[in-house]
A = this chain, B = another copy of it.
Amino acid sequence: MLKVPNHQVAGHKAGDGKLGPLVDDSGRFYKPLQGNERGSNELNFYTSFSLNTRIPDHIRRFFPNFYGTQLVEASDGSGLQPHLVLQDLNFRRVNPSIMDIKIGSRTWAPQASEDYIQRCLKKDRETSSLPLGFRLSGFQIYQNRELGFWKPERTSFQSLPADEVKLLLRKFVSSNAYVNLDSKPDCSFASIVYGGSTGILSQLLELKAWFEDQTFYHFYSCSVLIMYEKEFASNGKSPCAEIKLIDFAHVYEGQGVIDHNFLGGLCSLIKFISEILTTPDGCTTEASSKEIQKNQIYFENGTT
C-alpha cells in the first residue's frame, strides 16, 4: 500500500490527483521517473553512483539507498508508471524538523540548454543562491504537539538576505514552542544538533573534504537535507541529526575537475552553521552587522 509522504518539504507533491512521490510501509520511497531527460539523468546518476566502487562508505551514507526502478500505480491516477525506488529518508522518524537547502550559487551546468540556463540564472539571481551560494528550498520546524509544524510558503524564504537566513538556521535548533518569522530563537539545541562529533557540522565537513577531491560528478540543483528530532532533543535523547543529499536530475560528469560550484556553496553553509556554534547566544547577527558597518566606514563600493 503506497501513500503520500508525511514530511516532504520541497519538490512536486502527490495528492489531489497530482503526480508526486509515494512511500510504502517498509521504508521505500517511490519517485516518479520524469519522462524527459531529467528522469533518465537521475536514474543514470543513481546507477553510476551505486556501481562506483571508489565512493567511500562514510560518503555513501549521505546518499539515499537506491533499489532500482519499478512500475507502480502513479499518484495522479495515470496507472502503472516507472518510479525510482529509493530509501525513505523519513522512515521511522517521528516529528522531524527538516531543511532542504539547494547548494551552489549556480544551479545550471555549462552544457545545459540555453533556455534552461536562462531560467535558472534568473532564479539564482532572484533568490539567495547568487549572494549566499545556497538557497533554502523548503523546511518544516516542529513546534510541539498542539501547534505541529511551522512550514511557511517557499516564496517567503528562498530570497532571504544573509542575516535572515542566519536567524532561520538558529530557529531551526531552538526550543521555542511557537516559531514564526518574528520569534527570537534561543538556540538551545545548537550544540547537540549542529555541534558534536556526530552533529550536522561534522557531517558537512566530511562531505566538504570529499568535494575537495572528487572529480566524478558535478551536482547542479542538488539539495542537502538537514534533519533532526526536536522532541528527542527536548527529552535529553539523541536528536538523530543527519544530512542527506537529494535530487540528482542535474548531475553531470566531473571530467577531471572538482565541483567548485557545489563546494563553494557548501563552504558558505558551513560558515553560517559554524558561526551559530561559536556564538550560540544569538549575538552573531548583531555582531556581524557591527563588523559590516565598521568596514563600511572606509570601504564604500560603487557598481561597475
A206 to B: closest C-beta gap in Å: 15
Q: Is the CB of B267 within 8 A of A304?
A: no
Q: Is the CB of A250 within 8 A of B304?
A: yes
Query: Is A38 part of the binding interface, using a Cβ–Cβ cutoff of 8 Å?
Result: yes
Which partner residue on chain B sits nearest A132 by CB separation? B257
A81 to B: closest C-beta gap in Å: 20
How far apart are the CA atoms of A292 and B216 in the complex, in Å?
8
Given A44-B301, A292-B255; A105-B271 close (CB under 8 Å): no
Interface residue stretch chosen among A90-98, A135-143, A170-178, A258-266: A258-266
Query: Is A295 part of the binding interface, using a Cβ–Cβ cutoff of 8 Å?
Result: yes
How far apart are the CA atoms of A288 and B54 in the complex, in Å?
14
* From B37, B133, B257, contact of A131 by CB (8 A): B257
Q: Is the CB of B302 within 8 A of A41?
A: yes
Q: Is the CB of B299 within 8 A of A48?
A: yes
Query: Is A147 part of the binding interface, using a Cβ–Cβ cutoff of 8 Å?
Result: no
* From B106, B130, B253, B288, contact of A215 by CB (8 A): B288
Residues of chain B within 8 A of A52, CB atoms compared: 295
Query: Is A51 part of the binding interface, using a Cβ–Cβ cutoff of 8 Å?
Result: yes
How far apart are the CA atoms of A48 and B294 in the complex, in Å?
11
A118-155 interface code vs B (CB 8 A; 1 in, 0 out): 00010001000011110000000000000000000000
Residues of chain B within 8 A of A270, CB atoms compared: 212
Residues of chain B within 8 A of A125, CB atoms compared: 110
Which partner residue on chain B sits nearest A214 by CB separation? B271
Residues of chain B within 8 A of A37, CB atoms compared: 302-304
Which partner residue on chain B sits nearest A134 by CB separation? B260
Q: Is the CB of A253 within 8 A of B105?
A: no
Within 8 A of B (CB), among A24-42: 36-38, 40-41
Contacts beyond the supplied A37-B303, A258-B267: 15 A-B pairs with Cβ under 8 Å? A36-B304, A38-B304, A44-B300, A47-B299, A111-B301, A131-B255, A212-B270, A253-B296, A253-B301, A255-B292, A256-B288, A256-B292, A258-B268, A263-B264, A264-B265
The 9 residue pairs across chains A and B that have the minimum distance between CB atoms: A264-B264, A260-B264, A133-B260, A48-B299, A37-B302, A260-B268, A256-B288, A162-B256, A110-B130
Using a CB–CB cutoff of 8 Å, the interface residues on chain A facing chain B are 36-38, 40-41, 44-45, 47-48, 51-52, 105-106, 109-113, 116, 121, 125, 130-133, 162-163, 166, 212-213, 215-216, 249-253, 255-258, 260-261, 263-265, 267-268, 270-271, 288-289, 291-292, 295-296, 298-304
